[in-house]
Structure 1
Amino acid sequence: MTSSSSSSASTRSLPTETPLPKRQLALVAMVGITEPIHMTLVFPFIYYMVRDFNVSDDPRYVGFYVGVLAAAFAVAQLATGLLWGIASDHFGRRPILLIGVAGSIVCPILFGLSKTFTWAVMIRILWGMLNGNASSVKTMVGELTDESNQAKGFSLLPFCWHTGSVIGPVLGGLLADPVEHYPSLFGQSVLFRTYPYLLPCLVCSALSLLAWVLNYLYLVETVEHHAPNSAAADDDEEQAIHDAHYDHHHHRVEESSHYRAHGSSSASTHTSYDLPDETTALLISTNAAIQASTAASANPISVGGPIPVPIDSNDANESGPASPRAGLSIALSGDPLRCTIGYAAVSFFTLFIEEMFPIWAATPFDNGGMGMSTRAIGIALSVSGLFVVYLQLYLYPKVQNAWGALRCFRHGTTLCAVVVPCFGILHYLEASPSSLTVVYTMLSEGDLRPITWVVLIALLTLKEWCSVMYFTSACILINNAVPDRRYLGTVNSVSYSAASLARAVGPALGGTVFSWSLTTGYPFPFNHNFIFVMTASISLATYFMSLTWNSRLDRRAISKTSSPQ
C-alpha cells in the first residue's frame, strides 16, 4: 500500500446520510428541553431564595447552603438513574420517558411552595428521583440515528440543553417575585406575595405538561426487541453477524498466507490493522455474540484486539431480552467506561461553574462578586444561550464531520481551560476607573458598565460553545463505544449516573470552596478567582485523560439504523 493510499484510507469517510426521523426527534427534543429548564430555572433566584430562608446572617456563608440545595437534584438522579436505564431496556424508552415527565409536572409546583430550607431540599430530591429523562433521551437519539447522521442527531442534545438553559433563566429571572417586579399585575396577589418564587415554577410545570401530552399521543417506541416480530429480526441479525465473522476470519487467514509467501516486505501492506474500521468494530461485537451462543468449551476467535466485554452465555442471547448483568458488564469495561469517566469529568466542572457563576454574580461587589440582580443574571445567561443555539445547529455538525467527535472533545476541554479563568477579570474591569457610564436599563440594581456587559456576554458565549463541543462529542463517543445496541439504555444510564454523581459533588463542593475563598483573605488565585482557576485545572486534566482514548471511537462499534417516522 502506498503512502498516498494509506493517507486516503485514514481520512474520515461516512456513508450517504440517512434522512432524520424529524417528528420523533422533535418529540424527544421537547422532553430533552425540559430537564435543563428544571435545572436552570432556579439559578437566577436560588441565592435569594436561600437567603430568604434565613439560614445564615452572613451573606458570605449563603453560598454553602445554595450548593447543598443545588446538589440535591443531582444526588437524587444518581440514586435512581441506573434503575431508570435498566427499566428502559426492559420496558421500553417511551413509558420511562413519560413517567419522568409526569414527575416534572408536579415537583416544580411543590418547590415553588417552599417556605423552609428543609422542605426545598426534600422536594428537590424528589424532583431529581422522578426525572430519569436525560439518559432515555440520549438513548433514543442513538436509536433513531445511524453513523451517517449521528452528528446532526446528537447535536440536538446540547441544542435542547442550551434552549432549556435559555428558557430556564428567563423564567426564573423575569418571573421570580412578581409582586415586587410587576406591581401593576401582581401587586394585590396574596399567593405570590407569600410564595414569591412560585410563578416561574408554575410556568415550568405547564411546559412539562405540554411535552407529556404530545409525547403520549405521538411518540413511538425505539427499542427493536419490543416491536412485533422482533425475534425474527434478531435471528436475522445474529446470522448476518455470524456470516460477517466467517468472511472476516477467512480474509485474515488469506492475509496470513500472503504474508508468509511474500516475506516481511509485505508487512506494511497485509496486516490485520489494514481492515476497515467498520469491520474491526463489527468483529469485536461478533466475538462477544459467538462467545454468548457457544458452549464454554468452544474457544472464541481472536480478532486482533481484546474483547471489550466478557459476556456470559446466559446473559447475552442475541435473540433474547436484554440482561442487566450483561449490560452492566459492557458499561463498566473498556471504551464505554473510559468515555463515561470523561463524561462525568466534563459534567463535574461544567455544572460546577454553571452553579457558581450566578452565586458569584449575585455576591456583593465588595465581597469579590459582581452585585448583579436576578434579572441581570437571567438576561446574561439567556443572551449567551441564544448565540450558542445558533452555533450548535449550524456549526457543530460541520466541525464534527471534519474533525471527528474525539478531536472536538479535546478542543472543547482545552478552550474551556482558557476561557473560564477570564471571568475573574470582570470584577477588576468593573472596579477600574472608566469614563464609560453605567447602562441604565431595566436591569435595576444589577447594572454594569457597557464594556463589562460586552466582555461578560462574550465569555459566557465562549464557555457555552466549549460545552457544546465536549458534551455533544461525549454523547457520540459513548454511543459509538457500545458493541451491543440492546444495552444502549443501560450504558447511557450508567454514564448518566456517573454524571449525576459529578453534578452532585460539583455544586456542593463549589459552594463550600466559594465561601472559603471569600472568607480567608488569601491573594490570587485563592480569592474569588479560585472557582475559575479550579474549573480550568479540571478541564485541562480531562483533556490529558482523553489523549489515552482510542481513535476508533469516532466510528460506531455496530452500525444499526432504526428510523421510526
Structure 2
Amino acid sequence: ETLHMNHPETEEGFDCSDALEAASGGSVMKENGAEVEERAQNFQTSIWKNWPLMANIIIYCIFSLHEMSYTEIFSLWAVSPRRLGGMGFSSQDVGQVLAISGCGLLFSQLYLFPKVEKILGPIPLARIGGVLTIPLIACYPLIAKLTGFAQKFTINCASLLKNSVSVTIMTALFIMQNNSVPQHQRGAANGIAMTAMSLFKAVGPAAAGAIFSWCQTHQDAFYFPGVSMVFFIMNVLMVLVVVLTIESFLPKSCTKPYEEVQKEKFKPMG
C-alpha cells in the first residue's frame, strides 16, 4: 500500500521535472531563434551597406552592358555590306576572327594576367584596360575602310586585343568583388552581382541591335555617321567605367582580402 500510495507522487515529480526541462528547452530555442534572426538581419544589413561591394557591382554592370553590346554588334557589323559601313565578311570569316581571339585569350589569361596583376593590382589593371579599349573601339570604323589582307590582319589583332583586355577587366572586377566581403558572404555577394549583371545583359542586345539598325539608315549624319555612332556609345560606357575606378568611388581596400583589411584597420597602435 505504501508503494502504491507513493507512486503518484513520483509520477508528479517526473511530470514537474519534465515540465521544467521543456520550459528551459523552449526558452533556449527562443533565444537561439532570436540570435539566428538577429544574425540574419545583421548579415543582410551589412552586405547591402558594404560600399566597396556596391561600387564593384555598379562598375561590373556597366562594363557588362558594354561587353554585351560589343558582342552583339561585332558580328552584325562584320557581315554588313561595305556601303553600310561594315566589312562585308562571310560567316566563316567572322568565325575565324573569333577563333583566333579565343586562342589568344587563353594564352593571356593563363600566362600574362597572373604576372601583370601581381605587379599592378586589380584597380590599375582594370583602369589601364579601359583606357586601352577606348582608342581601340574608336578605330573599328576605320578598319572597315581597309581592304584585303590588311583588313583581315588588322581586325584579327584588334579583336584579339579587345577580347583579352575585356576578360582582364572582368577578372579584375571579380577579384575586387570577392575582396570586398568576408568569406561567408561571398556567395551572397556573387549572387547579387550576377542578378544585377543579368538585367544589364538582357538590355544590351536589344538596345545595341536597335541602335545599330538606326545608325545604318543615317549614313550621311554630320556627327558620327553610320556605325560610328554605335562605337561612340560603347566608348561612352567604357569612359564611365574608367571614371568610376577612381579612389573616391572605388575604395583602394578592394585590392586586398577583406580579412587582411580588417586586421590592418584594428591593428593596435605602436
TM-score after normalising by structure 2: 0.78
Cα separation, 2, equivalents of 1:397 and 1:327: 33
The answer as to 2:213 corresponding to 1:515 is: yes
Answer yes or no: is the 8 Å Cα contact 1:518–1:527 preserved in 2: yes
- Structure 2 residue aligned with 1:308: none
**C-alpha distance in 2 between matches for 1:496 and 1:411:** 24
1:361 aligns with 2:101: no
Amino acid at match of 1:540: V
The one-letter amino acid of 1:529's match is S
Counterpart of 1:545 (choices 244, 255, 265) is 244
Quote how far apart the aligned CAs of 1:486 are: 1.9
Measured after TM superposition, the shift of residue 313 of structure 1 is: 5.9
Residue 369 of structure 1 aligns to a residue whose secondary structure is coil
Q: CA deviation at 1:380?
A: 0.6
Q: Which residue of 1 aligns with 2:228?
A: 529
Q: Give 1:526 shift.
A: 3.7
Work out whether 1:488 is the aligned partner of 2:197. no
Counterpart CA distance in 2 for 1:534 and 1:338 is 22
Q: Of the candidates 177, 180, 204, which is equivalent to residue 506 of structure 1? A: 204
More helix by share: 2
- How big is each residue's C-alpha offset from its partner over 1:462-503, in whole Å with a ceiling of 9 and x where there is no partner? 1012112210100000000013x2221111011111111111
Tell me: CA distance 1:359–1:324, structure 2 relative to 1, closer, same or farther (3 Å). Answer: farther
Query: 1:56-112, CA deviations, whole angstroms, 9 ceiling, x for partnerless residues?
Result: xxxxxxxxxxxxxxxxxxxxxxxxxxxxxxxxxxxxxxxxxxxxxxxxxxxxxxxxx
**Whole-angstrom distance in 2 between the partners of 1:478 and 1:387:** 26
The Cα shift of 1:419 comes to 0.9
Task: Report the counterpart of residue 126 of structure 2 in structure 1.
Answer: 409
**Which residue identity lines up with residue 519 of structure 1 in the other structure?**
T
Distance in 1 separating the partners of 2:48 and 2:190: 8
Q: Distance in 2 between matches of 1:324 and 1:502?
A: 28
Q: Quick check: 2:130–2:238 contact (8 Å CA) kept in 1?
A: yes
CA offsets 1:168-213 (integer angstroms, 9 cap, x no match): xxxxxxxxxxxxxxxxxxxxxxxxxxxxxxxxxxxxxxxxxxxxxx
Query: 2:58, 2:76 → 1: CA distance?
Result: 27
Question: 1:496 is matched by which residue type in structure 2?
Answer: M
Aligned runs of 1:288-327 on 2, under 5 Å?
A: 314-315=36-37, 317=39, 323=40, 326-327=43-44
Letter in 1 for 2:180: A
Q: Which residue identity lines up with residue 234 of structure 2 in the other structure?
A: T
Distance in 1, matches of 2:198 and 2:244, equals 20
State how far apart, in whole Å, the 2-side matches of 1:313 and 1:511 are: 51
* Distance 1:328-1:394 versus aligned 2 partners, 3 A rule: farther
Q: Deviations over 1:249-294 (max 9, x none)?
A: xxxxxxxxxxxxxxxxxxxxxxxxxxxxxxxxxxxxxxxxxxxxxx
CA drift at 1:384: 1.6
Task: Name the structure 2 match of 1:555.
Answer: 256
Q: Tell me if the contact between 1:352 and 1:535 (Cα under 8 Å) persists in the aligned partners.
A: yes
State the Cα distance separating 1:332 from its structure 2 match.
Answer: 5.6
Q: Distance in 2 between matches of 1:517 and 1:366?
A: 13
| Residues 388-433 of structure 1 deviation map (CA, whole Å, 9 limit, x = unaligned) | 2111111110111111111111111111112111111122123xxx
Q: CA deviation at 1:452?
A: 0.5
**Kept in 1: contact 2:105–2:163 (CA 8 A):** yes
Contact 1:328 1:490 in 2 (8 A): no
Q: Is the 8 A contact 1:342 1:542 kept in 2?
A: yes
Q: Give distance in 2, aligned partners of 1:386 and 1:339.
A: 28
Q: CA deviation at 1:325?
A: 7.7
The partner residue of 2:100 within 366, 377, 383 is 383
- Residues 1:520 and 1:313: Cα distance change in structure 2 (over 3 Å): farther
Alignment check: 8 A CA contact 1:405 1:474 kept: yes
For the pair 1:393 / 2:110, whether they are aligned, the reply is yes
Q: In structure 2, what is the Cα distance between the partners aligned to 1:457 and 1:390?
A: 15
Q: Do 1:328 and 1:491's aligned partners in 2 also have CA atoms closer than 8 Å?
A: no
Q: Give me the whole-angstrom Cα distance separating, in 2, the residues matched to 1:530 and 1:316.
A: 52
| TM-aligned CA deviation for residue 326 of structure 1 | 2.6
Q: Which residue of 2 is the match for residue 344 of structure 1?
A: 61
d(CA) in 2 for partners of 1:400 and 1:408? 7
Percent identity between the two aligned chains: 26
CA distance in 2, matches of 1:343, 1:373: 33
User: Does the aligned pair in 1 maintain the 2:61–2:196 contact within 8 Å?
Assistant: yes
Quote the offset at 1:333 in angstroms: 3.5
Distance 1:471 1:398 in 2: 16
What amino acid sits opposite 1:538 in the alignment? L
1:428 aligns with 2:145: yes
Amino acid at match of 1:481: S
Alignment of 1:61-72 (within 5 A): none
Gaps of 5+ in 1: 1-311, 318-322, 431-448, 560-565
Question: Using a 3 Å threshold, how does the CA distance of structure 1 residues 486 and 457 change in structure 2: closer, same or farther?
Answer: same
CA contact (8 A) 2:133 2:162 kept: yes
Deviation at 1:461, TM superposition (A): 1.1
Partner Cα distance (2:74, 2:179) in 1? 33
Deviation for aligned residue 1:557? 0.6
1:497, 1:414 → 2: CA distance? 27
Where relative contact order (Cα < 8 A, 6+ residues apart) is larger, the structure is 2
Distance of 2:35 and 2:135 partners within structure 1: 49
Contact 1:388–1:465 at 8 Å: present in 2 too?
Answer: yes
Displacement of 1:328: 6.9
Judged with a 3 Å threshold, the aligned counterparts in structure 2 of structure 1 residues 526 and 329 are, in CA distance, closer, same or farther, namely: farther
Is the 2:129–2:169 Cα contact (8 Å) retained in structure 1?
yes
